[in-house]
């Protein structure tokens, strides 16, 4: 699918993987609407072709308004779900039992937020004209290798990302009649602000655990894969690991 002249929404578009993807799509000629929380947008750099839209992915009205804005700029054909939160907490620890509201919060943002954007973007994409192959657009979600190799303390996060993995195939099947593909990227450890609090020593240990290339992934590598997915019309209903062959140990 061609990127030039289309509109795209990218959630979490003010930082990390979403920021890199918004820049890459804009660089390829898309009009990008980068949805993020107001605090993150305040800190984001201005990028040609990227319009920042304050929106919480869990809020139907705010996401609908952002999707409408994108669709009125150009035909909306691409939605990339990068908004997410990471948390850690054991089910049972010295601090007590896992907080249920924390579990709900992670599911709400990472899974329900992803579904909310997917459904509203798909509704707008489905109303555009199809190309010569009957294709209207593509939705890209972000899971994590924690969906498969969840570590100690990742019960909530892994549950949310496992939900995104499980969503991928039925969403692709549901949306096939509308000419919309759905593909999920499951990143390994990518060097983004999500890892900001991690010491250099721990960062080096993380890199050491990656078979090859022996380093953390780059946000630009995620963005490159996202653009390849948009370009590759036969890729659908699949979850792609982007992790240098990393398989996480229990801790």
Span near ligand NAD by CB under 6 A; candidates 89-97, 109-117, 125-133, 171-179 = 109-117
The runs of H, that is alpha helices, within the chain are 16-27, 38-43, 60-73, 100-106, 113-126, 155-175, 200-208, 219-231
Write phi, then psi, for 80 (nearest 5 degrees): -120, 120
The dihedral sign for the CA sequence 57, 61, 64, 69:
negative
Span near ligand NAD by CB under 6 A; candidates 24-32, 53-61, 132-140, 227-235 = 53-61
Answer for which of 83, 171, 210, 248 binds ligand NAD (CB under 6 A) is 83
Q: Which two tokens stand for residue 133?
A: 């192959």
By beta-carbon proximity to ligand NAD, the closer residue of 113 and 137 is 113
Q: Is 201 exposed, middle or buried (0-12, 13-18, 19+ CB in 10 A)?
A: exposed
Contact 83, 57 (CB under 8 A): yes
Q: How far apart are CA 32 and CA 22, in angstroms?
A: 6
Helix then strand then coil, in percent of the chain rounded to 5, is 45, 20, 35
By beta-carbon proximity to ligand NAD, the closer residue of 36 and 149 is 36
Q: Is 187 helix (H, G, I), strand (E, B) or coil?
A: strand
Q: Which of 103, 157, 222, 234 is catalytic?
A: 157
**Separation in Å, CA 51 to CA 12, 46, 47, 192, 220:** 13, 8, 8, 21, 19
By beta-carbon proximity to ligand NAD, the closer residue of 112 and 176 is 112
**Per-residue x/- track, 14-43, ligand NAD (CB under 6 A):** xxxxx----------------xxx--x---
Answer for which of 47, 194, 198, 220 binds ligand NAD (CB under 6 A) is 194
**Per-residue x/- track, 139-178, ligand NAD (CB under 6 A):** ---x-x----------------------------------
Under the binding rule (CB under 6 A), the answer on residue 137 touching ligand NAD is no
Span near ligand NAD by CB under 6 A; candidates 7-15, 116-124, 130-138, 168-176 = 7-15
Check if 234 is active-site: no
Under the binding rule (CB under 6 A), the answer on residue 244 touching ligand NAD is no
Binding site for ligand NAD (CB under 6 A): 11-12, 14-18, 35-37, 40, 56-58, 82-86, 109-110, 113, 142, 144, 187, 189-190, 192-194
Catalytic residues, by residue number, are 157
């Amino acid at each position: 699918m061609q990127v030039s002249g289309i509109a795209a929404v990218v959630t979490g578009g003010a930082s990390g993987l979403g920021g890199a993807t918004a820049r890459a799509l804009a660089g390829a000629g898309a009009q990008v609407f980068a949805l993020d929380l107001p605090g993150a947008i305040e800190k984001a750099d201005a990028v040609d072709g990227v319009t920042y839209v304050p929106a919480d992915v869990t809020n139907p009205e705010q996401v609908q308004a952002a999707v409408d804005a994108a669709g009125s700029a150009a035909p909306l054909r691409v939605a990339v779900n990068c908004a997410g939160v990471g948390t850690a907490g054991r089910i049972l620890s010295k601090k007590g039992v896992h907080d249920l509201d924390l579990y709900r919060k992670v599911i709400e943002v990472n899974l329900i937020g992803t579904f909310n954007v997917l459904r509203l973007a798909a509704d707008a994409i489905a109303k555009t004209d199809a190309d010569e192959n009957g294709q209207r657009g593509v939705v890209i979600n972000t899971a994590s290798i924690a969906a498969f190799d969840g570590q100690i303390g990742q019960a909530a996060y892994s549950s949310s990302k496992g939900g995104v993995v499980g969503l991928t195939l039925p969403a692709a099947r549901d949306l096939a009649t509308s000419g919309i593909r759905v593909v999920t990227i499951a990143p390994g450890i990518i060097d983004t602000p999500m890892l900001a609090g991690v010491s250099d020593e721990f960062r080096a240990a993380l890199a050491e655990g990656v078979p090859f290339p022996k380093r953390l992934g780059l946000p630009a590598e995620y963005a490159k894969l996202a653009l390849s997915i948009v370009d590759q019309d036969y890729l659908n209903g699949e979850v792609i690991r982007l992790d240098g062959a990393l398989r996480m140990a229990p801790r």
